[in-house]
Amino acid sequence: MSSDVLERSVEYQGFERRGVIAFSWSGGIPMDVDLDAGAYFSANSAVYSVTADEMINGEILPLAGSWLDAGQERARATTLRPPESQQKRGMAVSAQKIAIIGGDGIGKEVMAVGRKILDAYAQKRGIAIEVVELDLGADRFLRDGTTFPAEDQKMIREECSAVLLGALGDPRVPDLGYARDILFGLRFGLDLFSNIRPVICLHDRLMPLTGKKASDCNTVVFRENTEGVYVGIGGNFKKGTPDEVAINEDLNTRKGVERVIRAAFEYAVSHGRKRVLMSDKSNAMQYAHGLWQRTFKEVAAEYPAIESKHMYVDALCLQMIRTPEMLDVVVTNNLFGDIVTDLGAGLQGGLGMAASANVGAGKVGLFEPVHGSAPDIAGKDKANPLATVLTIGMMLDWLGHPKAEQELTDIVRAAIDQKQCTVDVGGTLGTKAVGEFVLGQVAALA
């Protein structure tokens, strides 16, 4: 199928508000598409015109991708958010549905505060949202064995625009199987291939490096989110014996590598950033990371206005603490992204300040503070909820309300500046009191 075919209008055949509907090209080529456009298609109009850009940028997503040739598939994979379409949807009549999963430990505490802030901000700015809270996590698992029920997965896939997750992990369930079911069920199940983690220091007081200012730490890390060692391929041989063999495979596909690298470049372009650095360990892992090298060079060639650079991950760690100002956008694999962003959190004021988004080419995004359930401080009203506030900003931005990210980030900066924050970032307040401060700031927004 050539791309000029995409520029034709399509004829609407049997619209259902949600789910799978059949379209046919006016040229007569039949296809199935997953529409779920919320209120964007507000009426049963007979003909709907769609441009090539809308097709490619996620306005209409293929069920299996079979109608896209390789070039179009690559183009579609550039989509970080379905921005245009989400914005149109956001402005339309129906509310955007957001599922909140508090999860475990401090995840529940920061999400209780986050829910109030989300509601207050949405009300303040006239953003129509519908929030549904899902009772998932260790307590539920220990109560009735439930991990991530099929009906919740279906509801998220078919009805939600976003999921807001606290944290998962509970010492009572050491194997963490239920947590993997939920977290990987969302990340892998929704094919959320870009884990976007801003490593941005918001206040000089939080910068731990001598001679550096907050403005020296302004990096966004793209962590590949659906492949690598996290796919769980491997096993043990002769387990528990002196001859034991343990294997975890590092899975890297051309498609998976290319789409996250492209997403990083697209982000750089759309956010006015100048450089993209790809980090791997191709000197030691020549096959898997050789693929990253080749793919990065090819994709980078398509973005001549963006400076591209490669750095081994060990050198990147050094650079992050020596000259963080040299970094702009970083793209790396699942494991390295996980690790370097915890190092990055150290430059931001700790895990209580690190937010993240998990997005793909689809219509549902997952948003979560980077931190875990922190059993050491759980239930003590000590958790810093500001990473959650920043995460809500990222979510609302993705949902088509870009002012929200800036406004909530400014409020977080004010909380740090005025020491209206928790102990980990130099304040004296508890989780709930910080939430009250943020709510007050939201109420005071012009």
Ligand X SMILES: NC(=O)c1ccc[n+]([C@@H]2O[C@H](COP(=O)([O-])OP(=O)(O)OC[C@H]3O[C@@H](n4cnc5c(N)ncnc54)[C@H](O)[C@@H]3O)[C@@H](O)[C@H]2O)c1
Of 274 and 380, nearer to ligand X (C-beta) is 380
Among 169, 228, 337, 400, which residue interacts with ligand X (rule: CB under 6 A)?
Answer: 169
- Point out which span in 152-160, 166-174, 298-306, 405-413 binds ligand X (CB under 6 A): 166-174
Query: Between residues 142 and 284, which has the closer beta carbon with respect to ligand X?
Result: 142
Binding mask 303-342 for ligand X (x = CB under 6 A): ----------------------------------------
Partnered with residue 237 across adjacent β-strands are 245
CA–CA separation, 426 and 203 (whole Å)? 12
C-beta separation of 401 from 382 below 8 A:
no
Instruction: For ligand X, give the closer residue by CB, 90 or 198.
Output: 198
Does the annotation count 152 as an active-site position? Answer: no
CB of 316 to ligand X, least distance (A): 21
- Residue 356 C-beta: closest distance to ligand X, Å: 8
Q: Which is nearer to ligand X, 78 or 388 (CB)?
A: 388
Q: Residue 227 burial (CB < 10 Å; 0-12/13-18/19+)?
A: buried
b or e along 11-39 (b: 16 or more beta carbons within 10 Å of the residue's beta carbon)? Answer: ebeebeeeeebebebeeeeeeebbbbbbb
DSSP state for residue 251 in the 8-state scheme:
B
Residues in contact with 9: Cβ distance below 8 Å, sequence separation at least 6, in sequence order: 26, 47, 48, 49, 50
Q: Is 77 a residue that touches ligand X (CB under 6 A)?
A: no
Tell whether residue 357 is a contact of ligand X (CB under 6 A): no
CB of 438 to ligand X, least distance (A): 14
Among the listed residues 377, 408, 412, 438, the single contact to ligand X using CB under 6 A: 377
Judged by CB under 6 A, does residue 384 bind ligand X? yes
**Contacts for 22 with CB less than 8 Å, ≥ 6 apart:** 13, 14, 30, 31, 32
Query: Do 186 and 136 touch, CB atoms closer than 8 A?
Result: no
Task: Return the half-sphere exposure (C-beta side, CA atoms, 13 A cut-off) of residue 92.
Answer: 16
Size of the site for ligand X (CB under 6 A): 20
Of residues 9 through 48, those in contact with ligand X by CB under 6 A are none
Query: What tokens does 438 get?
Result: 């943020």
| Contact flag: residue 373 with ligand X (CB under 6 A) | yes
Which residue is catalytic, options 36, 104, 338, 397? 338
Q: Pick one of 374, 389, 394, 399: the residue that binds ligand X (CB under 6 A).
A: 374
Q: Is 342 a catalytic residue?
A: yes
- Is 230 annotated in the active site? yes
Nearest-CA neighbor of 265 among 294, 305, 292? 305
Out of 383, 404, 421, 442, point to the residue binding ligand X (CB under 6 A).
383
According to the binding rule CB under 6 A, does residue 195 interact with ligand X? Answer: no
| Under 8 Å between Cβ of 375 and 171 | yes
**124, 281, 309, 432: which is the annotated catalytic residue?**
281
DSSP string covering 199-211:
EE---GGG--STT
Beta strands, E only, 324-385:
329-332, 355-359, 365-369
Q: Which residues are catalytic?
A: 230, 281, 314, 338, 342
Q: Which residues bind ligand X (CB under 6 A)?
A: 106, 167-169, 176, 183, 351-352, 368, 371-377, 383-384, 387, 424
